[in-house]
Amino acid sequence: MEFMSIIEEMEKLIEKSPHIPLTGRVFLDGDILLDYLDRLRTALPEELRQAQWIRQEKERLLEEARLKARDLLAEAEKRAEMMAGENELVRKARAQATEIVARAQHLAEEMKSGALSYADGLLGQLETSLNQALAQVRQGRQELQAYPSGGSAGREAAAASEKAENHGRR
């Protein structure tokens, strides 16, 4: 494997390079070191480069998914608020409908009560008029029976008729 041989060459370079006394540091030629790094880069196995590309792609996809999830969450929140608003409108509409129905029922009861009262008044007036007419009819019959030519048979018939009328009123 070329990769390992390049690393071994770099180790030998460090061992052969001059050391700074008492520091443990080494003098290295920067150009030589850069050359070794280039050789390492080209010697890297293709799988390692693919792994690096896959890692970068994974990070890009994760960020894209985070952004999409954030957008979906925002959209869901907007829809939830809209639906809550619609539910509030429905609730208010139902409350208004209930109030309108209650008012209509109350008005219908008032109208019914008024109609019954009006009808009772009219029937009372009719009863009074009929009683007056009946009184006039009785008076007229009594006057007719008072004439001498009506005889006793006419009076008996009138008395029986009057009894029947009085009995019917009870």
- The share of the chain scoring above pLDDT 70, in percent, equals 87
Domain boundaries defined on the chain: 45-169
3-class secondary-structure state, position 19? strand
Asked if 166 and 131 count as a contact pair (C-beta separation under 8 A), the reply is no
Can you give the pLDDT at residue 135? 93
d(CA 143, CA 151) in angstroms, rounded, equals: 13
For residue 142, what are the CA distances in angstroms to 125, 127, 166? 25, 22, 15
Can you give the pLDDT at residue 158? 60
Mean pLDDT, residues 109-132 taken together: 91
pLDDT digits (tens, 9 = 90+) for 123-161: 999 999 999 999 999 999 999 999 886 555 555 666 666
Q: Is the pLDDT of residue 39 over 90?
A: no
Mean pLDDT, residues 20-29 taken together: 86
3-class secondary-structure state, position 26? strand
d(CA 84, CA 92) in angstroms, rounded, equals: 12
d(CA 36, CA 30) in angstroms, rounded, equals: 10
pTM of the model as a whole: 0.36
